[in-house]
Structure 1
Amino acid sequence: MSFYQFAKTVVATLLKPSFRIKIIGKENFPKDGGVLLCTNHINNLDPPVVGITCPRPVSFMAKAELFDVPILGNIVRKVRAFPVKRGMSDREALRNGLKILKDGHVLGLFPEGTRSKTGELGKGLAGAGFFAMRTDAKIVPCAIIGDYKFLRRITVIYGKPLNFEEMREKKASAEEATDYIMQGIKELIDSHNNGNIT
Structure 2
Amino acid sequence: MNLYNLGKQLCTVILKPLYRIEVIGEENVPKTGGVLLCSNHIDNLDPPVVGISSPRPIHFMAKEELFRLPILKSLLPSIQAFPVRRGMSDKQALRTGLQLLKDGKVLGLFPEGTRSKTGELGKGLAGAGFFALRTEANVVPCAIIGPYKPFKSLKVVFGKPVDLSELKERKGSAEEATDLIMDTIGELMEKYK
Give the TM-score of the pair, scaled to structure 2.
Answer: 0.98
Partner of 1:10: 10
Report how far residue 153 of structure 1 moved: 1.0
Pair 1:37-2:37 in alignment: yes
> Which letter does structure 1 place at the counterpart of 2:103?
D
Equivalent-residue separation in structure 1 for 2:71 and 2:41 (angstroms): 25
Pair 1:69-2:62 in alignment: no
Report how far residue 143 of structure 1 moved: 0.2
Partner of 1:56: 56
Equivalent-residue separation in structure 1 for 2:170 and 2:154 (angstroms): 38
What's the Cα RMSD here? 0.8
Partner of 1:182: 182
Equivalent-residue separation in structure 2 for 1:118 and 1:10 (angstroms): 29
Equivalent-residue separation in structure 2 for 1:124 and 1:65 (angstroms): 21
Equivalent-residue separation in structure 2 for 1:183 and 1:65 (angstroms): 29
Report how far residue 14 of structure 1 moved: 0.8
> Which letter does structure 1 place at the counterpart of 2:182?
M
Partner of 2:116: 116
> Which letter does structure 2 place at the counterpart of 1:70?
P
Partner of 1:147: 147
Partner of 1:196: none
> Which letter does structure 1 place at the counterpart of 2:185?
I
Equivalent-residue separation in structure 2 for 1:74 and 1:66 (angstroms): 10
Give the TM-score of the pair, scaled to structure 1.
Answer: 0.96
Equivalent-residue separation in structure 2 for 1:176 and 1:70 (angstroms): 38
Which runs of structure 1 show a deviation greater than 6 angstroms over 4 or more consecutive aligned residues?
none
Partner of 2:102: 102
Equivalent-residue separation in structure 1 for 2:75 and 2:146 (angstroms): 27
Query: Which runs of 5 or more structure 2 residues have no equivalent in the other structure?
Result: none
Equivalent-residue separation in structure 1 for 2:142 and 2:52 (angstroms): 14
Report how far residue 89 of structure 1 moved: 1.2
Map Cα deviations across residues 35-68 of structure 1 (whole Å, 9 max, x no partner).
0000000001000000111000001111112112
Equivalent-residue separation in structure 1 for 2:189 and 2:24 (angstroms): 12
Equivalent-residue separation in structure 2 for 1:46 and 1:69 (angstroms): 19
Report how far residue 86 of structure 1 moved: 1.6
